[in-house]
Structure 1
Amino acid sequence: MEGPGLQTPPDDAAAARYSFLFPIGYSNSSECGYCRRTRSGFSYYAIATSLTPAFYQKLVDRCWRRSGTLLYRPNQRHSCCPHYTLRLDSTQFRPTKDQRQAVNRFNHHILGDTYAREAARLHPRTRAEARRRHNVFDLLERVHESEAGVLKGPPPAPDHAFTVTLEPDTFTEEKYAIFENYQRLVHREPPDKISRHGFKRFLCNSPLERGSLAGPDGRERRLGSFHQCYRIDGQLVAIGVLDLLPDCVSAVYFLYHESIHWLNPGKLGALREIALAREEGYRWWYPGYYVHNCAKMRYKIEYKPQYVLDPEDLNWYLLDKEALALFDKGHYVCLSRKGVTEGATAPESTSHPPSPEAPLSTPPQHSSNSDDEDQDEEEDEETSFLLTSSMPGIPTLAEMEALDMDGLVLRSDFAEGFVLASHLVVWESESVGQVGTLKSRVAELIAAVGPDLMGEVCIDFRKRVGA
């Protein structure tokens, strides 16, 4: 394998092309965010100081997700709740009857009978328009139909004023009030688990760089992390936390005030996000991980056509009846081989939704008690070294030993500017297979990311604020 072939460190002007990552390592989680099991499965973890949207898009397409600045790639072979990446083609999406009814009920609630009656009298549709509306449910038209900015005058006014805005993912007390209400009353989280710090850490101020990109069709696509804010009569009632990437709208989390629970806001939010992907040219909507044995995750497959990312060949496969039948039969599924293995023991189907405090799983908390550590080692059949683990879709130890990583770019508090890995004093004396050394830690990160992305990564060993 060939490395990037860099001989001298780049200057600071080149920093914009890098994503800055700090390797945490491959380890067992303390608690699963879905079934609440302890020692629930292995993932590779890293911290992102800064991510370019294009780089993060590539990570998402390799089974990664983020929770705040924490990046993780789960091992589907060794997990109580295997996680599979999904995406939906917004251009091919057709709402079901239930989804159409949800939009219509919401619009009726916002507009009211008086407005609808007067609008029909003052702005009558032609016969062709009425026929089209009866026969075709235009998603883009319907999701915007009740927005204050598109309503036709004159009075009477609708029953409620409804607005949707895409805002920076910054913290406000208004947003935190929705988070606190949702976690406490909808998600039933204990009050001592809800905090401003938790909200900021996982759902605000993401490491994704904000910018824009001109798509092939000429439309300008926003990039970065945003809060899609829903307001009724000026009051914030729901927030969709979104990562806008070059080719997709990636849903991070959706939260709402319990007072609108009866309006089915989760379904409305998903439909608006799909509409956003279609109308602004992203094409794909990523609803997050699919966990087959978690009952609360089944709603995701109600939006079709969905494709599932195979963790071994990293290609996308249609999540049809045949594919779902494989998930019913086994714990770990590889669609490229149409194979099923049992892997770790699967828990019974759970109704507990994941918490944003632990969207995937809680990283391991290392005990200072050596007896506890010995017990954990006995319980874990999986190795704690990624390159000799069972994780699908990563290079082998032999492949990583043959990879030239000398040109990798690093950042440290002990040097100004960038440093090449080959310039480190210990670099030549260490080997990839020496578990726990700097070189092995770097090799794990590159294996998890993918050697072909090595030239886009800066290994960031600088001290993090608040770390």
Structure 2
Amino acid sequence: MTNEISLLKPLGYQRKNSCGYCKSATGSSSFYISCDNMRVDHYQELMDRGWRRSGTLYYKPDLPRSCCPHYTIRVRIQVEERPTSAPESMERFRTRTGISATSCHTVSSKEKRRTRDKFELLTAVHKAEYDHVKRPVSKRTGQPIEPAHRFEVSLEGDGFSKEKYGVFIKYQVEIHKDPISRWGEKAFKRFLCSGLDRKILKIDGKTLKLGSYHQCYRLDGKLVAVAVLDLLPHAVSSVYLFHDPEYQQWDFGKMSALREIALALEAKYEYYYMGYYIHSCIKMRYKGTFSPSYLLDPESLEWCLFDENYRHELDKRTYVSLSHDRIYGPPGEHIKEHSDQASALPAANANARDAPETTKERSDTYDDDQDLEFDDAPSDEEDAEIPEGSLFDYDIPGVLTKEEVKGLDLDHWRLLVRNALVELEDLRGWEDWKIDDPGSIKGIAAEMIAATGPELLQNSALVLF
């Protein structure tokens, strides 16, 4: 019975005093929960509330209290819309690899005229792959002429292999300058091989693969890159990408994004989630070049078109909520009042709504020479800085208020006790506990649902021990 529900460990809040993106000491803040068997529909709901996963750890940055706010970004998959950076990226990839279809046959003038002013995503993405390379027949032998190289892409389960681990170690050491000691096989498995359970379902007449997968890129049989993906009911979500540093010039970040958009398009997923977008990190700017892309508003949780006006606001200030601006006006015109308790919450960027330093100034200051696609999630093994009092005492974007949680059916949510599920209302003392008492089970349950959303009340249970 429990293998069909998500078993959720209590909410934590962690404050870090350093930042892997801007190198400052102001730090960041995040919520986190642990779950070893998260349902794919629950994770879809969490992502639409600003959460991401790292192995079996799920985390959501507290944007106003972080020096480099992480915005959830996604691309809507439409046939009529094409990623604006796609033609340049794919052509550069084909040129550098030298393994395009044209390496073994001459493109006719008619074909050149047909494709001159068109960009067909699926054609461009697959053009270099071995199964799609056109093989002209040799006049001398009568046999198809093989291309100079064999480039293949396959979607596999997220299991461990020595081959994947070897590429990962080279990537972390040479690109991220990590010591080898940080990444033993156990850590690699926990980080990249412990995702969502895989299954195949029919949803609305579509056959979808669901769960966590590795999309593997091989050249002449050699593994050169691995993209870690979560396939969800409505989306393809990019988790992580690592590659052999020997092939760094291939622009794997952009090229793999195009390949994953193609996967979403072919399998009829509605969206492609690109992880977090950090405007002050130059290396992440390419995520905003895919159209149409949307950022998740941290306060209203609505998806807002990421257009030039949105970029302009992010250039001026690190924390932006368009819904907040509509209600209270831009910073300087009217600033939302915070309670004394709210201002007491550990804050790296407490005045982010009217921060004097612009994003452009930050991007000019901080070193972005290295690839910083590594989302540095909190760890449940580290000491977390827990704010005093209840979560409901603080003004935190995207978290349900106490009154909103009171309107939910917490009574019939379940708790796992000695491998048995019991409803919370059956606990002795449940009626006397308060939802704003963080020391009670009712307070723990209320804070969990406030941060993760009401949808997780269904097909889940709280695990305290």
* TM-score of the aligned structures, taking structure 1 as reference length: 0.83
Cα displacement (A) at 1:279: 1.2
For residue 396 of structure 1, the aligned residue among 398, 401, 404 is 401
2:200 aligned with 1:212, yes or no?
yes
Equivalent residue for 2:102? Answer: 116
Question: Residue 458 of structure 2 is aligned with which of 433, 455, 460?
Answer: 455
**Partner residue of 2:131?**
149
Q: Is the 8 A contact 2:284 2:373 kept in 1?
A: no
Residues 325 and 384 of structure 1: is their aligned pair in 2 closer, same or farther, counting only changes over 3 Å?
farther
**268 and 400 in structure 1: CA distance in 2 versus 1, 3 angstrom threshold:** same
Q: Which residue number corresponds to residue 421 of structure 2? A: 418
CA distance in 2, matches of 1:294, 1:434: 39
Separation in 1 of the partners of 2:323 and 2:217? 40
The reply on whether 1:159 has 2:176 as its aligned counterpart is no
Structure 1 residue 385 displacement after superposition: 3.7
Q: Is the 8 A contact 1:34 1:353 kept in 2?
A: no
Separation (CA, whole Å) in 2 of partners of 1:438 and 1:183: 41
> Displacement of 1:39 after TM fit?
6.6
Distance 2:377 2:147 in 1: 42
Residues 391/353 of structure 1: CA separation in 2 closer, same or farther (3 Å cut): farther
Match of 2:443 in 1: 440
Following superposition, the deviation at residue 419 of structure 1 comes to: 1.2
Deviation at 1:420, TM superposition (A): 1.0
Listed one character per residue, the Cα deviations across residues 104-144 of structure 1 (whole Å, up to 9, x for unaligned) are 2433455559x736523xxx6583x4432222111101111
**CA deviation vs aligned residue, 1:297-322 (integer Å, no higher than 9, x gap):** 22211222210111111111101011
Over 3 Å counting, the alpha-carbon distance change for 1:19 and 1:102 in structure 2 is same
Q: Distance in 2 between matches of 1:384 and 1:236?
A: 51
| Inter-CA distance 55–366: structure 2 relative to 1 (3 Å threshold) | closer
Deviations 1:167-213 (A, max 9, x none): 1111111001111111111222233333322221111121x121123
2:33 corresponds to 1:46: yes
Match of 2:190 in 1: 201
Q: Report the Cα offset of residue 151 of structure 1.
A: 2.5
Quick one: structure 1 residues 188 and 163, their matched pair in 2 at CA, closer, same or farther if it must change by over 3 Å? Answer: same
1:25 aligned partner: 12
User: Matches of 2:178 and 2:381 in 1, distance apart?
Assistant: 21
Indicate conservation of the 8 Å contact 2:83/2:289, yes or no. Answer: no
Can you list the C-alpha shifts for 1:66-116, whole angstroms capped at 9, x where unaligned? 1111111222121111111111123154244x6423322433455559x73
Q: Are the aligned partners of 1:29 and 1:362 in contact in 2 as well (CA < 8 Å)? A: no
Q: Which residue is equivalent to 1:465?
A: none
Give me the whole-angstrom Cα distance separating, in 1, the residues matched to 2:423 and 2:25.
Answer: 39
In 2, distance between residues paired with 1:281 and 1:450? 27
| Structure 1 residue 48: Cα displacement | 1.1
Distance of 1:446 and 1:305 partners within structure 2: 31
The residue aligned with 1:72 is 59
Distance in structure 2 (CA, Å) of the matches to 1:82 and 1:144: 35
Could you tell me which amino acid in structure 2 is paired with residue 335 of structure 1?
L
* TM superposition shift of 1:274: 1.0
Query: How many angstroms apart in 2 are the aligned matches of 1:278 and 1:16?
Result: 31
**Counterpart contact for 1:27–1:384, Cα < 8 Å:** no
Q: 1:95 to 1:450 in 2, by over 3 A?
A: closer
Give the equivalent residue in structure 2 for 1:5. Answer: none
Q: CA deviation at 1:32?
A: 3.4
Cα distance in 1, alignment partners of residues 459 and 405 from structure 2? 17
Once the two structures are superposed, residues 308-339 of structure 1 have per-residue CA deviations (whole angstroms, 9 ceiling, x without a partner) of 11111111110101111111222321112335
Name structure 2 gaps, 5 residues minimum. 138-143, 332-349
Distance 1:226 1:125, change over 3 A: same
| Deviation string, structure 1 residues 36-66 (Cα, Å, up to 9, x no partner) | 5557233221001211211211110111111
Give 1:226 shift. Answer: 0.5
Give runs of aligned pairs for residues 260-409 of structure 1, distance below 5 A: 260-338=247-325, 343-344=351-352, 348-349=362-363, 350=366, 351=368, 353-354=371-372, 356=374, 359-361=376-378, 365-366=382-383, 385-401=390-406, 403-409=408-414
Cα distance in 1 between the residues matched to 2:413 and 2:163: 43
Contact 1:332 1:343 in 2 (8 A): no
Q: Distance in 1 between matches of 2:380 and 2:66?
A: 13
* Counterpart residue identity of residue 104, structure 1: E
State, as a whole percentage, how many aligned pairs show the same letter: 38
Match of 1:174 in 2: 163
| Structure 1 partner of 2:116 | 134
Of the candidates 434, 440, 443, which is equivalent to residue 431 of structure 1? 434
What is the distance in 2 between the residues matched to 1:214 and 1:386? 39
Higher RCO (CA < 8 A, seq sep 6+): 1
Alignment coverage as a number of residue pairs: 426
Q: Which residue identity lines up with residue 116 of structure 1 in the other structure?
A: T
- The AA in structure 1 aligned to 2:193 is C
The match for 2:336 is none
Q: Give the distance between the partners of 1:174 and 1:107, measured in 2 at CA.
A: 25
Aligned equivalents of 1:330, 1:145: Cα separation in 2? 42
Q: 1:456 to 1:354 in 2, by over 3 A?
A: farther
Structure 2 counterpart of 1:9: none
1:243 aligns with 2:230: yes
Aligned partner of residue 324 in structure 2, secondary structure: coil
Write the distance in 2 (CA, Å) between the matches of 1:134 and 1:272: 22
Deviation at residue 448 of structure 1 after TM alignment: 0.8
Q: Is the 8 A contact 1:43 1:75 kept in 2?
A: yes
Structure 1 unaligned residues grouped into runs of 5+: 1-11, 368-375, 463-467
